[in-house]
Amino acid sequence: MSSFVGIILLLIAVEIPGSFQHDRGHSKFRGPQVSQTAGTPWPMPLSYHTQATFTYVDAGEFKFTDVDESSSCSILEEAYNRYFPLIFGRRPETLFFKSSFKAPTDAMTELMVKLEKPCKDTDYPMLESDESYTLDVNGNQAMLSASEIWGVLRGLETFSQIVYQSNDGGFVVNNTQIVDKPRFNHRGMLLDTSRHFISVPILMTNLDAMAQNKFNVFHWHIVDDPSFPYQSEKFPKITNMGAYDPETHVYTQTDIKNIIEYARMRGIRVVPEFDSPGHTSSWGYGQPDLLTKCYTGSQPNGQFGPVNPVPNSTYVFLKSFFTEIAQLFPDHYMHLGGDEVSFACWQSNPEITSFMKKMGYTSYSQIEEYYMQNLLNIVGGLGKGYQIWQEVIDNGAKVRADTVVEVWKAGWEAEMEKVTKLGYKTLLSTCWYLNYISYGSDWMAYYGCEPFNFNGTDAQKQLIQGGETCMWGEYVDGTNVISRLWPRASAVGERLWSAKEINSAFLAQSRLTEHRCRMVRRGFQAEPITGPGFCREEFGGV
Amino acid sequence: MRRIVLSWILCIVLSIQVVNGWLTANNARSPLLSILVVSTCCVSRLHGYLTYLALRMPLKGTRPPPGSPWPMPKEWNPTSDLVTFDPDNFRFSSNLMNCDIVIQAIERYTPILFGYKGVKKAAGLSPLTELKMTISSNKCDQYPRMAMDESYELSVGDTAELTANQVWGMLRGLETFSQLIFYQDGQIFMNKTRIIDGPRFSYRGLHTDTARHYIPLPILKKNLDAMSYNKFNVFHWHIVDDQSFPFVSKTFPELSKKGAYTNKHVYKPEDVADIIEYARVRGIRVIPEFDTPGHTHSWGKAFPELLTPCYANGVPGTPIWGKYAAYENFDVTKEFVYEFLGKFFAEVKEVFHDEYIHMGMDEAYYRCWQSNPDITAFMQERRIEGNYSKLEQYYAERTLGIISDLGRKYVIWQDPVENGAKVRDDTVVMVWKGGNTAHEDHWNSYMEKIAPRGYNTILASCWYLNYIKYPPDWEALYTCDPQDFNGSQAEKDRVLGGETCMWSEYVDGTNILPRYWPRASSVAERLWSPKIVKNTTDAMYRIDQQRCRMVRRGIPAEPILDGYCGDYDWGFGDVDTPEVDKPPTCTGGFRLEGRITLLVLPLLIVFVL
């Protein structure tokens, strides 16, 4: 570790500003504000030792070699196909180097890959999956070993990052020893595809970016009030009337299967969220009796509120609907929402009032709990685990022991303390809402948010499974979602993967600057976030 | 489903009524109302304005009919009568069919009008077959100028005619014409309309900083496209700054050799010419800014003798961190500086064709000058006493003199004037302070100080698009009016216009386009349309329509409302057949222009050989 820090310190050549009177907001930094490291990984591995000694990698001859071919599977084969161009570049410009530079004869020509537990073509990642790996580069010998396929995928990503192009055009890798595993099992990213539709190719691009940052959960907030792009097989009317455009702005069953497959190949779980009982306006057009009718006086006023928790038909529908979802999405977990339920409409509705009387409820959170309990039982009965927003617990619902509670409101420290005291697995997302934007290097705040910063015992902290960064869709769509996410989400990626002690934004910034340029080189619109500077290859040319 | 069917029936019935003339301007009490009735139902099919949420909780404001122009013309009289077009049987004609600006405009606008998959003429309407464009000056102007005439008149009835005094007005009118078109179920429509239009301000600028981050040429061109869709007419190219010097000078090639980020992060003479030409045919002026005497660190990489050595403890070239670096600002006491600038700007004059050059002159902080004994001696010798603004004035006088002798005019940032320096009377002063940071005065107080001194002014303060916050922030941009300060009519008349700025600390090719658009569109309407066009609730839907129009034309303009654009949202295309192993190349971005590939291929071949 110490050698790494030393190198980083040497590489940071930040110039001190000449004047602080930059009223216009121009910084007076000269040249790049933050210099770039060369061939350092992001997120930082658990243990990372690297030396100045380097070896050329022969791009023409290079191949991945299985130590034991019988343990391989299609996930691994496809990963090799992906990583070759990720390491050596797919853009014509980078081929210049290949043709002009002749690697020396003792250059590295292979990465040995040792997978202990044979993988199967159909493997699907889980919350408990083992993503650890070791990577050893010594001279022209390189060996990656992992227990599970998911660890190999993470290690290939790291290897692809420590190979870099030197100024003579050759690809090189420093002598490096890495022992790595994630700090948290759940490193998620929420995308909201209801407020604005995001096309399948862009979702796939984002999955690639996630893999590059070792995220492992795509939390797909697929429907909400504004639109219902999920194309339901059993209830096509909901989609036809709830999607912005039932022809173009929908995710077909095939689309979704493709997304899940694309994610699986990259070791990313897809956790769908069908939020209820609030945030369900778009469900109501095609499923007319699902929502609560709001009343003015004694008459329905034509408005609709949350899902109507009273009639049995609601639960018949939910069982049928979630059975379809459970069959389509292979992940063990399903996100059931449960956030921001507005009680005003329930209060106006006489059916709800009389039901409450019958049940002896005195508060509307009790009826919310009643609904959620029924829903949880239905989904639990389908053999699925569930992820929920914090309100469900705040309202006192009884949930399965393997429930994952997601804390998203301000005051997360107290909430985390409370939820973990109740013994639930917990995720943090409060401090990582990337839809909120502000001028400048806001990534430092995301980077500095530490999920363990709450009062709790070690046992309570053991319950923290990780966190999620969220991109709500009010003001993003295909035009800007990638550049708004990346590399700001990379800051969260490192917080969730790397050791707690890797927390200095100052030390991280040169590595992040390299990482963002690496993303740009791979074709992502990763925006500049460390002030003036440049990438060797720019988005849009150069 | 019933809701959709009903809305369709209503829409069809109303459309038929319109077609039959039942609701024409002559018969209906309010033609505008009838347009709105029809358009509201059609809009809900065509665009995402009326989301289901919006139906339940209607937002305030009047939704525009489809085909509403942005920026709003001076006079726009749409009728509810519709016409259609047959893409295979339509032509542009003009009295200047041999003028390159006219020819290229026709080439550009043909695909903009009809280039979308499957669009065809509407059934039951007789198509317009021609847009007759008359340029009464009968002159094919070469370069757009400050004094150009951009006014035009457009009438779309049984025939369509566009008349303008100059080609520049023809370009603006053609843009408006292209915006009146709309598509419904693949059928092409346009309301019969009469428009009389001209800009409120002659200077409608957009500024890009290519020094803090290099912006690749294809992106600059995309941005020029978007500018033309919004009737901007000046590209203020802040081409160099402290951080890098990407401009390749033939006279002083060392400037970019040593001052650019890399030898690829440069604008070669042919690149600059390419941009100027691309802008020219769109009626956009290119005003370069070579900012001096501050913001010049990158010049010093090749020519350190241009810069002032700052002193600490009697040692030159010594920084005092927090006050100044080792070298700051041009050393304005040295004759070498003026000789150098004379040669440099003689080249700039040859490269850039606009009558104006932006000379910068902002943020020339005095502390390094103050530390330097040679400068103190110079000031004593010349009796430039005490106040360093007089030294700034000395520099401004000599530099503007150089430009004047070259036959060019100049724009500068407000700083020297604000500091009390007297600059030449014909200087155009750009007011940039007071828009964003709390510790400054409001911009109008700067305007009130500077305008009475007789300078022509341009306002930029309230339109710094690099500053971002959680949206929507377009209203604040929209409501800032450059004439809203206390001053005489003459002072207000001296406001030439405004400019929206993008300093590139945190933008480059990855994000600059969605950061500009459609926020810059707010500024565009403020600078083009009459002052009274300022209702933000009405503008909200029109600007959303404009943003979708830009998306359709390949500009990644970001959303400002919930909803969707139609069947052409960003990133569509291979939705149906996603290749699982498709490399993530620019999927979320835009198509790189073919000519880039054409440039790269020969290079590739050379390298392989």
Nearest by CB to B567, which of A200, A248, A438? A248
Mean pLDDT value of segment A20-32:
46
Nearest Cα to Cα of residue B12 among B46, B42, B35, B47: B42
Dmax over CA atoms of chain A, in Å, equals 87
Chain A partners within 8 Å of B265 (Cβ): 534, 538, 542
Asked whether residue A19 carries a pLDDT value surpassing 60, the answer given is: no
B327, A15 Cβ separation under 8 angstroms = no
Asked whether residue B215 carries a pLDDT value surpassing 80, the answer given is: yes
- pLDDT of the residue at A103: 84
Residue A176 φ/ψ region, left for φ over 0, alpha for ψ in the -120 to 50 degree band, beta for the rest? beta
Name the closest residue on chain B to residue A251, using Cα atoms. Answer: B575
B328, B307 Cβ separation under 8 angstroms = yes
A495, A215 Cβ separation under 8 angstroms = no
Measured CA to CA, the distance from residue B289 to residue B115 in angstroms comes to 37
Q: Any chain B CB within 8 A of the CB of A77? A: no
Q: What is the dihedral of CA A116, A122, A124, A129, to 10 degrees?
A: -10
Chain A interface, best mutation among B208, B553, B555, B587, by max A CB count within 10 A: B587
Measured from the Cβ of residue A238, the count of other Cβ atoms closer than 10 Å reads: 23
Q: What is the mean pLDDT of chain B?
A: 86
Nearest Cα to Cα of residue B526 among B178, B238, B230, B194: B230
Name the closest residue on chain B to residue A195, using Cα atoms. Answer: B562
- Hey, are the CB atoms on A541 and B608 less than 8 Å from each other? no
Asked whether residue A186 carries a pLDDT value surpassing 60, the answer given is: yes
Q: What is the DSSP letter of A397?
A: -
Nearest Cα to Cα of residue B343 among B251, B409, B259: B251
* pLDDT tens-digit map of B43-92: 333 333 333 333 334 456 678 899 999 999 999 999 999 999 999 999 99
Name the token pair of B501: 């700025």
B156, B193 Cβ separation under 8 angstroms = yes
Nearest Cα to Cα of residue A161 among A446, A493, A502: A493
- pLDDT of the residue at A271: 98
Q: What is the mean pLDDT of chain A?
A: 92
Chain B partners within 8 Å of A253 (Cβ): none
Residue A514 annotated to the active site: no
- Based on C-alpha coordinates, what's the Rg of chain A? 25
Asked whether residue B5 carries a pLDDT value surpassing 60, the answer given is: no
* pLDDT tens-digit map of A165-175: 888 888 999 99
Kindly write down the DSSP assignment for every residue of B87-99, as one continuous string: TTS-EEEETTTT-
- pLDDT of the residue at A402: 87
CA distance A282 to chain B (A): 7
Nearest by CB to A27, which of B505, B551, B556? B505
Measured CA to CA, the distance from residue B211 to residue B502 in angstroms comes to 11
End-to-end C-alpha distance for chain A, whole angstroms: 35
Question: What sign has the CA pseudo-torsion B459, B464, B469, B474?
Answer: positive
Name the closest residue on chain B to residue A209, using Cα atoms. Answer: B584
A485, A529 Cβ separation under 8 angstroms = no
Higher-pLDDT residue of B56 and B158 is: B158
What's the predicted TM-score (pTM) here?
Answer: 0.89
Chain A partners within 8 Å of B570 (Cβ): 199, 202, 477-479
Name the closest residue on chain A to residue B212, using Cα atoms. Answer: A532
How distant, in Å, are the alpha carbons of B54, B292, B359, B418 from that of B254? 59, 18, 21, 34
Nearest Cα to Cα of residue A214 among A282, A289, A157, A168: A157
Chain B interface, best mutation among A212, A252, A479, A484, by max B CB count within 10 A: A479
Q: What is the dihedral of CA A359, A364, A366, A368, to 10 degrees?
A: 110
CA–chain centroid gap for A398, Å, is 28
Chain B partners within 8 Å of A201 (Cβ): 571, 573-575, 578, 582, 587
Measured CA to CA, the distance from residue B79 to residue A450 in angstroms comes to 61
Nearest by CB to B213, which of A237, A249, A528? A528
Q: How confident is the model at residue B438 (pLDDT cuts 50, 70, 90)?
A: low
- Hey, are the CB atoms on B328 and A19 less than 8 Å from each other? yes
- Hey, are the CB atoms on A227 and B469 less than 8 Å from each other? no
B552, B229 Cβ separation under 8 angstroms = no
B548, B556 Cβ separation under 8 angstroms = no
Nearest by CB to B212, which of A437, A524, A532? A532
Chain B partners within 8 Å of A22 (Cβ): 363
CA distance A455 to chain B (A): 32
Q: Any chain B CB within 8 A of the CB of A247? A: yes
* pLDDT tens-digit map of B128-144: 999 999 999 999 999 99
Amino acid identity of residue A427, one-letter, is L
* pLDDT tens-digit map of A435-473: 999 999 999 999 999 999 999 999 999 999 999 999 999
Helix (H, G, I), strand (E, B) or coil at A130: coil
Asked whether residue B21 carries a pLDDT value surpassing 90, the answer given is: no
- Based on C-alpha coordinates, what's the Rg of chain B? 27
Q: Any chain B CB within 8 A of the CB of A442? A: no
- pLDDT of the residue at B60: 63
Name the closest residue on chain B to residue A301, using Cα atoms. Answer: B56
* pLDDT tens-digit map of B466-481: 999 999 999 999 999 9
Question: What sign has the CA pseudo-torsion B146, B148, B153, B159?
Answer: negative
Read off φ and ψ for residue B43, nearest 5 degrees. -55, -40
Name the token pair of A300: 């329905």
Name the closest residue on chain A to residue B576, using Cα atoms. Answer: A255
Chain A partners within 8 Å of B218 (Cβ): 540-541
Asked whether residue B411 carries a pLDDT value surpassing 90, the answer given is: yes
Q: Which of B130, B363, B505, B593 is catalytic?
A: B363
Owner of token pair 């699982």? B580
- Hey, are the CB atoms on A532 and B323 less than 8 Å from each other? no
Read off φ and ψ for residue B156, nearest 5 degrees. -120, 110
CA distance A194 to chain B (A): 9
Chain A partners within 8 Å of B365 (Cβ): 19, 21
Whether residue A118 has a cis bond before it, omega within 30° of 0: no
Residue ranges in B529-582 assigned as alpha helix (H): 536-552
Chain A partners within 8 Å of B221 (Cβ): none
Question: What ipTM goes with this model?
Answer: 0.92
Nearest by CB to B510, which of A85, A261, A525? A525
